[in-house]
Amino acid sequence: MLNNKGFNLWADNYDQTVQVREENNQYPFAGYKKILNTIYNEVMLKNHSDVLDIGFGTGVLTSKLYENGHQMDGIDFSSKMISIAKIKMPDANLIEWDISNGLPLEIKRNKYDSIISTYALHHLEDKEKILFINNLLSLLKKNGKLFIGDVSFQTREELEICRLDNIDYWDDDEFYFVYSEISASLQNKCHFYPMSHCGGVFIIENS
């Protein structure tokens, strides 16, 4: 699994890697644009809202929301990713932090209309994911929503098909979302919208 130094090294080429694999409909980024656009359109239903982005990377989605007047807070553990994103969003509150240690205090004090995370939470094991997601849900305002876009599958069988089709490229150190396995742990408050053969969007409401 990549640590923060690995992401620092990847940062300059990250957008290009994503683009090539997205355009060729390849794991892990098949459906990337559709996933980000879906989340963008959902967040944009509100004007000037408070948004937290977990693992914002080069800020592809975060900066579009920032440009449209949303107040953006973000967490990422790669200083290089942060410096690239900071150029696009000088006034955003971007915090260097490793989410395997939970959430930073300054974020825990806040409440958000939307919390978004794309292609970052698969770095947490399933148990950690559920704990972390529940912590995120406690930061939502009434009627707030959590949007997760990531490598994800309806069932373990679908994941296995994708793994065998991409055996040379598959990353065994990542923990992809399997909807049928995690939905019960989230009290079934979670809806899954597949966007490609290996990616989709989870929408989890704070009810």
Ligand X SMILES: C[S@@+](CC[C@H](N)C(=O)[O-])C[C@H]1O[C@@H](n2cnc3c(N)ncnc32)[C@H](O)[C@@H]1O
Residues that bind ligand X (CB under 6 A): 7, 55-57, 60, 75-78, 81, 98-100, 118-120, 123
**Of 118 and 206, which CB lies nearer to ligand X in the complex structure?**
118
Judged by beta carbon, residue 83 or residue 155, the one nearer ligand X is: 83
Q: Which residues pair with 148 in a beta bridge?
A: 117, 202
Minimal distance, residue 164 CB to ligand X, in Å: 23
- Closer Cβ to ligand X, 49 or 118, answer by number: 118
Residue 34: CB minimum distance to ligand X, A? 12
Spatial distance between the Cα atoms of 2 and 8, rounded to a whole number of angstroms:
10
Could you give the C-alpha distances from 176 to 70, 78, 124, 171, 182, in angstroms and in order? 29, 21, 9, 10, 11
Nearer to ligand X, 57 or 200 (CB): 57
Q: In whole angstroms, how close is the CB of 142 to ligand X at the nearest point?
A: 26
Q: How far is the CB of 75 from ligand X (least distance, A)?
A: 6
Q: Would you tell me how many other CB atoms lie within 10 Å of the CB of residue 200?
A: 23
State which residue, 15 or 158, has the beta carbon closest to ligand X. 15
The residue with its CB nearest to ligand X is 57
Please compute, for residue 98, the number of CA atoms within 13 A of its CA located in the half-sphere on the CB side: 9
Give the position of tokens 């919208």: 193
Name the minimum Å distance from CB 62 to ligand X: 8
Judged by CB, which is closer to ligand X: 42, or 207?
Answer: 42
Q: How far is the CB of 21 from ligand X (least distance, A)?
A: 11
Question: If 0-12 CB within 10 Å is exposed, 13-18 middle and 19+ buried, where does residue 69 land?
Answer: exposed
DSSP one-letter string for 104-166: -HHHHT--EEEEEEES-GGGS-HHHHHHHHHHHHTTEEEEEEEEEEEEEESSHHHHHHHHHHT
